[in-house]
Amino acid sequence: MSDRAPGPMPVVPAADLDRVPEPVVACPRCGYLGVRPARGEEGAVPGASDIMSERICPRCEHRGIPVEFRTREEYVAFLGELNEP
């Protein structure tokens, strides 16, 4: 992990996320939507990503269980909380 992780994703209107499928799955640290299973070179065990919930955020390098939101509006509210000082 880098010494300085990027800040949270900016808050966007839910209407701008109309192509994002619900439920919305995001990084719990920065809110990035592109979390993914670990690759072999990152220590993943072949087939384990099918049964484990752990994901990696390529933006901030967080490794853990992502957060899931039922709706885009819940995700936008989460971004708002992440961006509070």
Query: For 37-71, how does the pLDDT look when each residue is reduced to its tens digit (9 = 90+)?
Result: 876 665 555 555 555 678 999 999 999 899 999 99
Q: CB-based contacts of 25: which residues, under 8 Å, 6+ apart?
A: 33, 35, 55, 66, 67, 68, 69
**pLDDT band (50, 70, 90) for residue 1:** very low
| Per-residue tokens: 21 | 């499928």
pTM for the model stands at: 0.79
Residue 18: what pLDDT? 92
Convert the pLDDT of each residue in 4-45 to its tens digit: 668 899 998 888 999 999 999 999 999 999 999 876 665 555
53 phi and psi, to 5 degrees? -90, -10
| Per-residue tokens: 55 | 């994901």
Cβ distance 29 to 57 under 8 Å?
yes
Look at strands 55-56 and 63-64 and give their pairing: antiparallel
